[in-house]
Structure 1
């Protein structure tokens, strides 16, 4: 089921976390942030919305890292119900796609709940003070890739955040598959 992200609260601060990365190390909020901000992306392997943007997502994440924005990708899906999102498959995806940013697993789903993440992909762009400044889409993609000349919404907004600490960019909600919550 496709869902869209809600609007954002500019007073929201990035909640701390400590999550295991596909490289075997533990990543905290402080480890992930860059000198000019932080992009937190909730993604997974199996979601067709993530698959449709993955090449551009990696391109833009790497470009933002070059601008001083730290980047972390978090998989919060129930990996027992969705084995294609397993830690081993996450490691394979990160290696295959050449992630230069950590890809971490939120096996308890507490981080997704703390961020109020709702879908994959779900993007949270923070400034250097870790205040939320962007919660929108990567670009005009849906389940199918957008045309190559599509406006790079996330990149342009976070580039402005890196330079000024805020953004004037329009924020169109991201759309994707719902987070796959564990049944209690």
Structure 2
């Protein structure tokens, strides 16, 4: 009985951690909720449109405590810095509304961002309104928009969210480089794996 319970728990974890690519925004879709004001860790309010750079916008759903976010800390910092260097705006969104009174509070977001030396926006999605509009389910989960505000890529940072040393394909970096070169993004979607966004 005990072993069967453990098996069921493992199956449920795998099913909830994996997110297929078919759901959500279509490639070519405009930025959803682009004028909704979001509270940034700096104390100011920012919209997705205002966060855009001249070459586009990278939106990443993230958090402070998710083990997958922690495993992707270095990769997140590198790709966000790379995007900013190439005039692609960056905004990380915390939609974990069920935990906003605790480990995902604004104060903890500020502390985490300082620890990770974020130089980009990190905002609170108080009612998970943005996550719902994007149909985002995991942290981390990425959406890359071109200079016209059209979705060019959605999915994971790379092909091994759980293990940086085993990465073979850097999906987001490849998409960024294709987009910046004015080429069609060769791989425009990838499956995401991570912690579920805690909406309830």
Which residue of the other structure, out of 37, 42, 53, is the alignment partner of 1:34?
53
- Matched residue, 2:174: 156
Superposition TM-score, scaled by structure 1 size: 0.90
CA distance in structure 2 between the aligned counterparts of 1:127 and 1:53, rounded to whole angstroms: 24
Q: Give the 3 Å change call, closer, same or farther, for CA 114–98 of structure 1 in structure 2.
A: same
Q: Which has the larger radius of gyration?
A: 2
Contact in 2 for aligned 1:122/1:174 (Cα 8 Å): yes
TM-score normalized by structure 2?
Answer: 0.83
Q: CA RMSD in A?
A: 1.9
Deviations 1:17-63 (A, max 9, x none): 31010010101122211111111000011111111111111111101
Q: Is the 8 A contact 2:158 2:167 kept in 1?
A: no
Count of matched residue positions in the alignment of Structure 1 and Structure 2: 181
Q: Which one scores higher on RCO, CA 8 angstroms, separation ≥ 6? A: 1
In the alignment, the residues of structure 2 paired with residue 81 and residue 106 of structure 1 have an alpha-carbon distance, to the nearest angstrom, of 10
Is the CA contact (8 Å cut-off) linking 1:67 and 1:159 kept in structure 2?
no
Q: Structure 1: how far apart are the matches of 2:102 and 2:49? A: 30
Contact 1:42 1:75 in 2 (8 A): yes
User: Secondary structure in 2 aligned to 1:147?
Assistant: helix
Report the CA distance shift for 1:50/1:152 in structure 2 as closer, same or farther (over 3 A): same
**Structure 1: 5+ residue runs without aligned partners?**
none
What's 1:136 paired with?
Answer: 155
